[in-house]
Structure 1
Amino acid sequence: MPQHTPTAPVCRDCDGFATATITTGTRHTDGSRVTLRITCPACKGAGHTTPAVRVRVRVGK
């Protein structure tokens, strides 16, 4: 059960998991794996999105 309510809406593309680490299958000389860090392009690694600003535009005369 969550303790805190999120203050900003969670990103719909990454569900709040903004960064993923992917192994490439190769290893460094010390034996550790080579990894790539990928961030969500929609939220740019924040995990949440800013709410859309609603703007009212009058069309016509």
Structure 2
Amino acid sequence: MTHSAPPAARICPACDGFASAAITTGTRLNDGSRATLRVACPGCRGTGHVPTPASAVRLAQVAR
């Protein structure tokens, strides 16, 4: 008997799964460390994955 599983989430093509990055601003804080900004990928909104296309979901439902 086969088990049906939902389609796997796809890795975001914009960030290749590395959804956030720390970018240095160049300025130093009082303790000597650098100030950084955390930036999230706009394509996946910081998750690293994009939703599965609706056509793939429909094909998976038909295959059951």
TM-score by length of 2: 0.70
For the residue of structure 2 that corresponds to 1:21, the secondary structure is strand
Residue matched to 1:58: none
1:30 counterpart letter in structure 2: D
Q: Which amino acid aligns with 1:36?
A: L
Q: Over aligned residues, Cα RMSD in angstroms?
A: 1.4
Runs of 4+ with deviation above 6 angstroms: none
SS of match in other structure, 1:22: strand
Aligned length: 49
What is aligned with 1:8? Answer: 9
Alignment partners' CA distance in 2, 1:43 and 1:28: 31
Greater helix content? 2
Instruction: Indicate the structure with greater strand content.
Output: 2
